[in-house]
Amino acid sequence: MTTVTLGQAVPDFQLPATGDKTLALADFRGKRLVLYFYPKDNTPGCTQEGQAFRDLSDQFEQANAVILGVSRDSVKMHEGFKTKQGFPFDLLADQEESLCQLFDVIKMKNMYGKQVRGIERSTFLVDEQGVLQKEWRKVKVKGHAEEVLQAVLAL
């Protein structure tokens, strides 16, 4: 499978999401799309990142941008996480890793001295025509949502 490249159209995808929905890239034509990939629901860094996007969600919405969180957790796990944190955006369940592979975010990571396959925290900005405009890899949570918002506003 090929991976997405900056300046290129993102191939359409379709994944199960919170709210008993199936979402596709085509659903967001005419809007800017922020896809943020995170390792796991209900973990400290992923919770902080989601909260940061949540706290800025009105500003993203005013900038014609939709936020979607993506991890390998199940829709059921996502529903609990979304409700607990009050996220106003949907979370996509990529249990087959299809979107993770498309965006090349599955990496070998060290966890407690062991090598494990996991999602490298990454964010992607897709424009209204479905073209990848910006990417952030190896994201550090602090200040990240603000940086993404600035990029959305600059589009």
How are beta strands 32-37 and 122-126 bridged, if at all? Answer: antiparallel
User: What is residue 89's DSSP assignment?
Assistant: S
Report CA 13 to chain centroid distance, whole Å: 13
Active site residue 100: no
Question: What number of other Cβ atoms are within 10 A of residue 102's Cβ?
Answer: 17
Q: Which of 17, 25, 35, 46 is catalytic?
A: 46
Catalytic positions, please? Answer: 46
